[in-house]
Amino acid sequence: MTHAHLAPSMTATQSPPVMEARRWLAAASLPAGLELLNVSQAAPVAPPPAPLRAAMIAAIEDDDGSHLYGPVLGLPALRDTLAASMTRRYGGPVSDQQIGITSGCNQAFAAVISTLAAPGDNVILPVPWYFNHQMWLQMTGVEPRALDTGPSLLPDPEAAAALIDARTRAIVLVSPNNPCGTEYPDILLAAFRDLAAAHGLALIVDETYRDFDSRAGAPHSLLQDPDWDETVISLYSFSKAYRLTGHRVGAIATSPARLAQVEKFLDTVQICAPQLGQRAALWGLQHLDDWLAGERAEILARRAAMEAAFRDLPDWDLPGCGAYFGYARHRLGIASDALAERMVSDIGVLALPGTMFAPQGAARGRQEMRFAFANIDAQGISALADRLAGYAPVSRS
């Protein structure tokens, strides 16, 4: 059989890492007596809280708009409520006309990049990077320009400046970071904002995990500049806050002029974000502040448990830990991609190797591993540490 031509930019893009990990699981036999510890995917596995599910049922039954097309840029009440929430949180002006609602934060990123970059352009991504950012850039012919973050896991504005050329269109930062968990200091974000503005670039800040930031108050002051939307583009996801992963609701905060271009993308790709998910996100913003505070407290407790557990592991360090993630370095004498696949059968742990968060062949990813701990409690974190403590997959003699 002859296959139709496949686009080179697509075939050159890696397979989705979480799906690849699931294939390891399907091919593996778990060790006798051990249940799987799945720390591969950063997503809630529990459904939304009962009051939110009740509100969603009511919307299905009583709100005809839950079943119809809606405005391309989102439910007006949701845009307005999110803008007000961001204004309170960040201490700077955000209006409903600066908010667009998308089908998840990945779509928000894709939509924004589509307004910024064309094939042959480049976008700067700190490494370790969020793999779906790299994948979207590569499959659309935009070069992901790697900015290594070194041992600190914090990107350096001066190093970024050296990567900028005439085809650079944006710098992307994720804080709290995926995959590293690192929370970027306000002064660092401001320095990147100034760098982007000086070169006429966009600064895209993916804040998917902002509800689980350990710092009290606003995590940064970027939106306190009344002209913030000339440079800064903030992305968000309701999936993690309200357990709405399957309902696909994200958001973009940017200028009205850019949203006019985003609207073209959204109308062409999906017309509008799912109406039930939007209504659920709105209800969550209006009613679940206290509940979300409890969720944040639990995640912060698990973060502390991860940090404590890794202090006693002789072959592991934990340079990054926060939000849903512990980002670890090992000294096990085996490349992380091979290690991650073997860990399923050897110790019943499914995690993602650092090679999935770095350019192909990059040295750093071979000794790094991401453990997404949001779906294992303190007991599960203890079990993870126990399994890693005595694990020696190869002889180092």
In-domain check, residue 3:
no
Residue 308 falls within a domain, yes or no? yes
Q: Quote the longest CA-to-CA distance of the chain.
A: 69
In terms of domains, do 341 and 309 share one?
Answer: yes
57 within some domain: no
Residue 301 and residue 278 in one domain: no
Q: Do 186 and 330 sit in the same domain of this protein?
A: no
Q: What are phi and psi of 96, to 5 degrees?
A: -60, -25
- The answer to the question of residue 52 being in a domain is no
CB 36 within 8 A of CB 355: no
The model's pTM: 0.94
% of the chain at pLDDT higher than 90: 83
Q: Is 358 a member of any domain?
A: yes
Indicate the number of domains in the chain: 2
Calpha distance 147→155 (Å, rounded): 7
* pLDDT bucket at 247, cuts 50 / 70 / 90: very high
243 plus 367 within the same structural domain: no
**Is 377 found in the same domain as 279?**
no
3-state secondary structure 77-131: HHHHHHHHHHHHHHCCCCCHHHEEEECCHHHHHHHHHHHHCCCCCEEEEEECCCH
For residues 355-363, average pLDDT = 90
CATH value at residue 347: 3.90.1150.10
E strand map for the chain:
37-38, 99-102, 122-127, 143-148, 168-174, 202-206, 232-237, 250-253, 316-322, 325-330, 349-350, 352-353, 368-372
Report the pLDDT value the prediction gives residue 395, as an integer from 0 to 100. 46
Residues in the chain: 397
209 plus 308 within the same structural domain: no
If we measure between CA atoms, which residue out of 79, 30, 4 comes closest to residue 250? 79
The rounded distance, in Å, linking the Cα atoms of 368 and 317 is: 9
Q: What are the CA-CA distances from residue 160 to residues 169, 195, 219 (Å)? A: 13, 9, 22
Asked if residue 263 belongs to a domain, the reply is yes
User: Which residue has tokens 């700077």?
Assistant: 92
Domain match, 273 and 169 both: yes
Provide mean pLDDT across the span 114-122. Answer: 97
| CATH code: domain of residue 213 | 3.40.640.10
- 132's tokens: 């779906």
55-99, pLDDT tens digit by residue? Answer: 999 999 999 999 999 999 999 999 999 999 999 999 999 999 999
- For residues 125 and 178, give the distance between their C-alpha atoms in angstroms, rounded to a whole number: 12
Query: Is residue 277 scored above 90 in pLDDT?
Result: yes
Residues 128 and 276 in one domain: yes
Q: What is the tens place of the pLDDT at every residue in 293-324?
A: 999 999 999 999 999 999 999 999 999 999 99
The parent domain of residue 243 ranges over: 65-287
Q: Considering the domain boundaries, does residue 60 fall inside one?
A: no
Check whether residue 128 and residue 164 sit in a common domain. Answer: yes
Residue that finishes a domain, picked among 287, 304, 337 = 287
- Identify whether 187 is part of a domain: yes
Residue 380 has pLDDT above 60, yes or no: yes
For residue 138, what are the CA distances in angstroms to 93, 117, 258?
A: 34, 12, 22
- Same domain for 253 and 302? no
Residue-wise pLDDT for 45-58, tens only, equals 889 999 999 999 99
Whether residues 326 and 217 share a domain: the answer is: no
Count the helices and strands in the chain (H runs, E runs): 14, 13
**Mode of pairing for the β-strands spanning 168-174 and 122-127:** parallel
Cα 106 to Cα 110: distance, rounded to the nearest angstrom: 6
